[in-house]
Amino acid sequence: MEENQLKLLPPALLPWYRENRRDLPWRRDREPYHVWLSEIMLQQTRVEAVKGYYARFLDALPTIGALAACDDDLLHKLWEGLGYYSRVRNLKKAAVRIMEEHRGVFPGEYGDIRALPGIGDYTAGAICSICFDQPTPAVDGNVLRVVSRLTEDETPIDLPAQKAAVRDALAAVYPAQAGDFTQALMELGATLCGPNWKPKCEECPCRGFCGGAIHATAEHFPVKLPKKGKKCEERTVFILSCDGKYALEKRPDKGLLAGLWQFPNVEGKLDTAAALTAAEGFGLRPREILRTVERKHIFTHIRWEMRGIYLEVAQCAGEYTWLTAEQIRTFAALPTAFRQFWEETDNV
pLDDT over 50 at 348, yes or no: no
Choice among 39, 101, 202, 312 that is catalytic: 39
- Cβ pair 143, 166 in contact under 8 A: yes
Residue 130 CA to its chain's centroid (Å): 20
What Å distances lie between residue 167 and 5, 47, 120, CA to CA? 15, 24, 13
Identify the pLDDT of residue 2: 61
Question: What is d(CA 80, CA 208) in angstroms, rounded to the nearest whole number?
Answer: 44
Percent of the chain with pLDDT over 70: 98
Other residues' Cβ atoms within 10 Å of the Cβ of residue 23:
6
Long-range contacts of 335-340 (CB under 8 A, 24+ apart): 335/80, 335/83, 335/85, 335/257, 335/260, 335/262, 336/81, 336/83, 336/297, 337/257, 337/262, 337/297, 337/299, 337/304, 337/306, 338/237, 338/261, 338/262, 338/263, 338/265, 339/80, 339/81, 340/295, 340/297
pLDDT over 70 at 1, yes or no: no
Buried b (16+ CB within 10 A) or exposed e, 105-143: ebbeebebbbebebbebbbbbbbbbbbbbbbbbbbbbbb
Identify the pLDDT of residue 347: 54
The arithmetic mean of pLDDT across residues 163-189, rounded, is: 97
DSSP 1-13: --HHHHHTHHHHH
pLDDT over 70 at 27, yes or no: yes
Domains of the chain with CATH codes: 3-220 (1.10.340.30), 231-342 (3.90.79.10)
Residue 39 annotated among the catalytic residues of the structure:
yes
The model's pTM: 0.85
Task: For the chain, give the mean pLDDT.
Answer: 95
Other residues' Cβ atoms within 10 Å of the Cβ of residue 232:
11
At 155, give phi and psi (nearest 5°). Answer: -70, 130
Question: What is d(CA 214, CA 227) in angstroms, rounded to the nearest whole number?
Answer: 30
pLDDT over 60 at 314, yes or no: yes
Question: What is d(CA 194, CA 109) in angstroms, rounded to the nearest whole number?
Answer: 31
Length, in residues, of the chain: 348
Instruction: Give me the residues paired with residue 261 across strands.
Output: 250
Identify the pLDDT of residue 253: 87
- Under the banding of pLDDT at 50, 70 and 90, the label for residue 156 is very high
The arithmetic mean of pLDDT across residues 5-26, rounded, is: 97
Identify the pLDDT of residue 228: 83
Torsion of CA 200, 206, 211, 214, to 10 degrees: 70
Q: What is the pLDDT of residues 81-133, one digit of tens each?
A: 998 899 999 999 999 999 999 999 999 999 999 999 999 999 999 999 999 99
pLDDT over 70 at 290, yes or no: yes
AA identity, residue 37: L
Long-range contacts of 47-51 (CB under 8 A, 24+ apart): 47/22, 47/190, 49/82, 50/82, 51/24, 51/25
Q: Which of 4-8, 194-198, 216-220, 344-348 has the highest mean pLDDT?
A: 216-220
Identify the pLDDT of residue 3: 65
Percent of the chain with pLDDT over 90: 91
End-to-end CA distance of the chain: 53
The arithmetic mean of pLDDT across residues 171-194, rounded, is: 97
Q: What is the pLDDT of residues 226-261, one digit of tens each?
A: 988 889 999 999 999 999 999 999 999 888 898 899
